[in-house]
Amino acid sequence: MDDADLAAARRAARDAAAVAMAMQRGIASRPKDDGSPVTDADLAADAAIAAVLAAHRPHDAVLSEEAADGPARLGARRLWIIDPIDGTREYAAGGSAWAVQIALVEDGRLVLGVLDMPALGCALWGVPGQGAGIADAAGARALQAPSAAAPPVLVGSDSVRNRDHLARVRAALPEYACITSTSVGVKVERMLAGAASLYVHPRPIREWDAAAPAAVLAAAGGDATALDGRPLAWNTPAARCAGLLFALPGLPGGHPAMAARLAAAGLATAG
């Protein structure tokens, strides 16, 4: 990974965000084979990203929510992981809480992530081990995760398929208030803005939903792990993470203690 990779990812995200914003008004969604929604804007944003990355590194492998997957990527040293519009339901409903998400994995290690949220007026990026940044109405600047908020706040999703899982998390963590968002990228933006300190996703989630947010949070100084506290694995055959535990630094009791607490509540193996 070098500076040119990050510049290409930010440019691709900006292009995709511009396409999506231009198409949002009055757009309709339709179900894919797995029941998740897609719009013409998802496909157009995906094409915009693909064009930039193909010009930048034409031989890199790509894993995108809106493109066919295959086993060839498993042997690739470099893999771009893309969600052209994370939060399609919110996007199709005319809302603002959605994100263009692009990440790069090298040799199985997450090395950069970009989150572009044009309807919220901001973009975030991060290189784990090197730092994170944000651009919004106040300009571009470095981004550092705040200490865990008090009182603690949990971010979750109130989509129909997540409500039972979110209820289980809230029962296990009764002292946590809860705000909701459909996009993982927006969840991380809310955390880094100090509006929430913790995000628990207690069931499998696709890599394209998690990769860029995990990179940005880790680069800013937060913790982005699997539900059991172990490092997340990338470029897996199923392209899935078993669950997520994202936290700001200074979490009461610490990140490992939270993972143990979730395991004791029977959440670490939830599917």
Q: What does the pLDDT read at residue 167?
A: 87
The half-sphere exposure of 197 on its side-chain side, counting CA atoms within 13 A, is 20
Candidates 146, 154, 134; CA nearest to 216 is 134
List, for residues 7-45, the tens digit of each pLDDT value: 999 999 999 999 999 999 999 999 998 888 999 999 999
pLDDT band at 160 (very low <50, low <70, confident <90, very high): low
Q: What is the reported pTM?
A: 0.96
The yes-or-no verdict on residue 58 having pLDDT over 50 is yes
- Would you state the structure tokens that stand for residue 104, as one six-digit string? 């790069």
Domains of the chain: which residue ranges? 3-143, 153-264
The yes-or-no verdict on residue 230 having pLDDT over 90 is yes
pLDDT band at 159 (very low <50, low <70, confident <90, very high): low
pLDDT band at 252 (very low <50, low <70, confident <90, very high): confident
Find all residues with CB under 8 Å of 27, minimum gap 6, and list them: 39, 40, 41, 91, 92
pLDDT band at 269 (very low <50, low <70, confident <90, very high): low
- Would you state the structure tokens that stand for residue 5, as one six-digit string? 């990779």
Which CA distances in Å does 18 have to 9, 138, 266?
Answer: 14, 20, 42
Tell me which residue has tokens 């996703």. Answer: 201
The yes-or-no verdict on residue 270 having pLDDT over 50 is no
State the SS3 of the chain: CCHHHHHHHHHHHHHHHHHHHHHCCCCCCEECCCCCEECHHHHHHHHHHHHHHHHHCCCCEEEECCCCCCHHHHHCCEEEEEEEEECHHHHHCCCCCCEEEEEEEECCEEEEEEEEEHHHCEEEEEECCCEEEEEECCEEEEECCCCCCCCCEEEECCCHHHHHHHHHHHHHCCCCEEEECCCHHHHHHHHHCCCCCEEEECCCEEHHHHHHHHHHHHHCCCEEECCCCCCCCCCCCCCEECCEEEECCCCCCCHHHHHHHHHHCCCCCCC
Whether residue 151 contacts residue 140, with contact meaning beta carbons closer than 8 Å, is answered with no
Lowest mean pLDDT among 169-173, 233-237, 265-269: 265-269
List, for residues 35-51, the tens digit of each pLDDT value: 889 999 999 999 999 99
List, for residues 192-206, the tens digit of each pLDDT value: 999 999 999 998 999
End-to-end CA distance of the chain: 34
Total residues found in the chain within this entry: 271
- In percent, the amount of the chain with pLDDT more than 70 equals 97
pLDDT band at 87 (very low <50, low <70, confident <90, very high): very high
- Would you state the structure tokens that stand for residue 269, as one six-digit string? 């193996």
Find all residues with CB under 8 Å of 144, minimum gap 6, and list them: 132, 220, 221
CATH: 3.30.70.120, 3.30.540.10, 3.40.440.10, 1.20.140.10. Which one for 3-143?
3.30.540.10
* CATH architecture observed for domain 153-264: 3-Layer(aba) Sandwich (3.40)
CA dist 109 and 178 (Å) reads 31
List, for residues 92-138, the tens digit of each pLDDT value: 999 999 999 999 999 999 999 999 999 999 999 999 999 999 999 99
Q: What does the pLDDT read at residue 166?
A: 85
Q: In whole numbers, what is the pLDDT of the chain averaged over residues?
A: 94
- In percent, the amount of the chain with pLDDT more than 90 equals 85
Q: What does the pLDDT read at residue 181?
A: 87
The yes-or-no verdict on residue 271 having pLDDT over 50 is no
